[in-house]
Amino acid sequence: MVQHSALDTSFAALADPTRRGILQRLGRGASTISDLAEHFEMTLTGIKKHVHLLEVAGMVVTEKRGRVRYCMLGANPLEREVAWIRDYQTSLQSRLDRLDEFLTRTEGTS
């Protein structure tokens, strides 16, 4: 069974368009907090909050070099999230298949 608190953290991190944008940006390479703030037209404090949530979810890693904090993609490959989505999709498909079978059986009996 998947731990729902870990899923909650991941999906909360992915729920915000700015955080998804940060992940996309970091997919092209490491970036500083300052560069991210400029790219997203946001204050350093605002970007730091978004990066922190992504860091808690394991999607981003930060490293301080001198006075500069660099951000890069983390090691979370989203496997547990994808597994949960696949389980949900399988469950939903099963229900839809049963509905289709029911409608096929009852078609024309009214």
pTM of the model: 0.79
**Considering the domain 1-76 in this protein, what is its CATH number?**
1.10.10.10
Domain map (residue ranges) of the chain: 1-76, 77-110
4 pLDDT more than 80: no
71, 32 Cβ separation under 8 angstroms? yes
Q: At what angle do helices 4-14 and 44-56 cross, to 10 degrees?
A: 150
2 pLDDT more than 80: no
Residue 41 vs residue 50, higher pLDDT? 50
Q: At what angle do helices 79-106 and 4-14 cross, to 10 degrees?
A: 90
Nearest to 8 by CA among 77, 67, 57: 57
The total of other beta-carbon atoms located within 10 Å of residue 25's CB is: 17
**pLDDT on residue 78:** 86
Q: What is the mean pLDDT of residues 57-83?
A: 92
